[in-house]
A and B are shown apart, each in its own frame.
Chain A
Amino acid sequence: MNKELEKLLFNPVRLKILSFLFSVENASFKKLIEVSEATKGNISVQIKKLEDAGLIKVRKKFEGNYPLTLCKITSKGKTSFKVFLKSLQSYGINESTDVDFKNRI
């Protein structure tokens, strides 16, 4: 597996963001704060890193007078995440802790 990807997803907040975005079509910044349990500042930094690596796409828009940030996984992000998961599974982790993600691909 790509060392850079491994390093990128070694951070739990980044791994949470990418795993969540892998399972949904898109998610708001607010939702990502909720699921990752990270602070606003921290999550902004981690989102930027994932975006710079081309794994996610960030779209900013306004709804009424409020800004809304939507994040979406890119096809590169999906492929990378699958590679990452395969590498985790190749470590021989037993079935009970294994991820059943076949239906989501």
Chain B
Amino acid sequence: MNKVNQIKIINDMINEARTNLKPLSFNLVFWGIFINIMSIIHYTFPSFIQQTNYSAGIYWIFLPMIGMIYMTRWNIKKYKEMGYSTTLGRVIKIVWAVFGLGWLMISGLAFYQGINPVPDILFLLGLVSVLTGAIIKFKPIILGGIFLLIFVISLYIYPGQNALIVNIIGITLGLLIPGILLNRMKTNE
């Protein structure tokens, strides 16, 4: 085996080891659809979701928790199928795990204090999206995160807006569309 062949082997192996970003795109699309469906149901049947002081809180905490359990299991299964892990993949996992924790904390505290959690959650989601987009160098996710941050600012400037509508638009631009674009990307990393 000559030196050129050795270099070729090394290059091939480095290309094989690229981080597969398809699972991330599935995660973004899943949460985009999941949260939008939840928001639409809440918007359409407000009297049903808000029939007691606790029902809306339960709705927005427990259903996402079920989604988180499902996605965690799905991600573990995908990781096992891939058979390898990369530093980039681990960083993305940590960033979104921290977001999940933050989401639960914000929802729990908002539920306890009786305030609307949407602006804080969108703010956290915007930051995490910008961070993820910058880490994987994918502009649509960065832009999606910036859109989310703009929506948060608009919610503070015009507090009279319907938070559910803002949530639907923000999640569509911040998660759903970037997730679809990432899924259609041909090359990884």
Residues of A whose CB lies within 8 Å of any CB of B are 9-10, 12, 15-16, 19-20, 22-28, 30-31, 34-35, 63, 85, 88, 91, 93, 97-99, 101, 104
Contacts and interface: CB of A to CB of B under 8 A. Distances in A.
Contacts of B8: 97
Nearest to A33: B83
Contacts of A101: 10, 14
B87 A25 contact: yes
Interface of B: 1, 3-14, 16-17, 80, 82-87, 89-90
A93 B8 CA distance: 11
B7 A31 contact: no
Contacts of A27: 83-84
Contacts of A10: 1
B84 A98 contact: no
A88 B3 contact: yes
Contact of A25 (B3, B9, B83, B85): B85
18 contacts: A15-B10, A16-B9, A19-B10, A20-B13, A23-B14, A23-B16, A24-B86, A25-B89, A27-B84, A28-B83, A28-B84, A31-B82, A34-B83, A35-B16, A88-B10, A93-B3, A97-B7, A99-B7
B5 to A, nearest CB: 8
B129 to A, nearest CB: 23
Nearest to A29: B83
Contacts of B85: 24-26
Contacts of A25: 84-87, 89-90
B4 A31 contact: no
A80 to B, nearest CB: 13
Contacts of B7: 88, 93, 97-99
B84 to A, nearest CB: 4
A63 B80 contact: yes
A88 B6 CA distance: 8
Contacts of B17: 20, 23-24
A16 B13 contact: yes
B167 to A, nearest CB: 36
A15 B90 contact: no
Nearest to B19: A24
A48 to B, nearest CB: 20
Contacts of A19: 9-10, 13-14
A23 B13 CA distance: 8
Contacts of A91: 3
B90 to A, nearest CB: 6
